[in-house]
Amino acid sequence: MASINKEGRWLTMVLLCLSGGTIYLLPFLREIYYIPIQQAFGYSNTQMGILFSLFGLASMLSYFPGGWLADRYPPRKLIFFSLLGVGLGGLYFATLPSYNTNLALHFFWGLCTSLIFWGAMIKATRTGASSEEQGRAFGILESGRGIVEVAISSAVLAVFAWLGSQASALSQVINLYSWINIALAIMTWRFLEDDSQRPLDRAPVLGKVSLADILMVLKMPSVWLIAIIVLTTYSANWGAYYFTPYATTGYSLSVLLGASIGVSKMWLKPIAATSAGFIADRFGVAKTVFALTLAMSGSFVAFAILPGGKGYLFLMLINVAIASSVVFALRGIYFALLDDSGVAPAVTGTAVGVISAIGFTPDFFMPILGGMLLDSYPGVQGYRYYFAVIAIMSIFGVFAAHRLMKKSR
């Protein structure tokens, strides 16, 4: 029976990595195909920012109720419907619809990923691992998602290059991503383990979250500190989304080479996230997070002062690797802080909802800020201002991590 449970938990983790690594590729297509999207749809930087900010607004409004859903319904059903919704939306996106339609579509994607999917994935990960394995469980999840992201993105980028790397090839890229989501939805429905099959000591109690439980979570200082860490990390993550157009605009690289940088940095995710997970289990999650927030702040200070131009290309590439590794490492372990903070497994979804509702607000304001800065300050200057804002925000993450580190001693 134990071996069956172990095999079931590994199958669950594989499916979580596959779904978690795939579902965000369409909503965040801009990470690799920013300029092709602009060319295909004729959007300005500000229009791009508004488009993705609407996705962020839907996400921001969805995280808290999404956490409540995750505490009431099994992950199998929630993940199935979220993958199916994103995939079907992608098939329509491939027809290159109007701007207003795209606004509605990105809002819909925000509901699919944040209301239905996110809390279910985090809760399934936490309840599938013991208290001693939280760091590595979340590290494996993030690294597995990274492997899936980079494998699919590399294959699709090769197709994009084969089709000519033009805006006309974008529809085929979107179609590929869409069908992959739909296929994974079917796999999830067929193979994902139900909560009733989990080990009893980690199984969540569905449908039992009360108003008192929600208020208890809201009163926990650690939950708010984790939210600040997630917010600053995710702001830096938005900085990483701009590395591709930054390299293309500021260092005179081709669209294909810029996209290659976007895909190449994804290869760092499995290494960084897994390493961070094991280091966190060895030295402490809070201490590891504190060190990483310091490195993140320093890296974006460096971006803010790099002048651009081919003479600084090597330094830019090194800093892209450093910043990407640090952000991926933090994303891999910051939810492991839940166990350090004494949050009960039964209210994990609620805690994740509160943290995510605050921590992922950069999905709303960072695209608008980026679009406005890039349109107002053409060339590398706009990117430098954008990275400077992220560097300042990262300092708040350093202070929050330091406070948590002191509390965990």
Please give the Cα distance from 29 to 201 (Å, whole number).
39
143-181 pLDDT tens trace: 888 889 889 988 998 998 888 867 778 999 999 999 999
* Domain boundary assignment for the chain: 2-194+209-408
Give 344's DSSP letter.
-
HEC profile of 134-172: HHHHHHHHHHHHHHHHHHHHHHHHHHHHHCCCCHHHHHH
Please give the Cα distance from 191 to 163 (Å, whole number).
35
For 124, list phi and psi in degrees, rounded to 5.
-60, -35
Please give the Cα distance from 141 to 20 (Å, whole number).
8
Residue with tokens 């199958």: 11
Instruction: Give me the CATH topology for the region 2-194+209-408.
Output: Growth Hormone; Chain: A; (1.20.1250)
226-264 pLDDT tens trace: 999 999 999 999 999 899 899 988 888 888 888 888 888
Return per-residue pLDDT of the chain as tens, 409 residues.
344 466 667 888 899 999 999 999 999 998 889 888 998 999 999 999 999 899 989 988 888 888 888 888 888 899 999 999 999 999 999 999 999 999 999 999 999 999 999 888 988 887 776 766 777 788 788 788 888 988 998 899 899 888 886 777 899 999 999 999 999 999 999 988 765 444 434 444 445 556 777 788 888 888 899 999 999 999 999 999 899 899 988 888 888 888 888 888 888 988 898 899 889 888 889 999 999 999 999 999 999 999 888 889 999 999 999 999 999 999 888 888 887 777 777 777 778 888 888 998 998 899 999 999 999 999 899 999 999 999 999 999 999 999 988 877 6
Q: Is the pTM of this model over 0.95?
A: no
For residue 345, what are its two tokens? Answer: 């497994």
From residue 95, alpha-carbon distances to 52, 72, 323, 347 in Å are 18, 36, 35, 41
**Element holding 61 (H helix, E strand):** helix 45-70
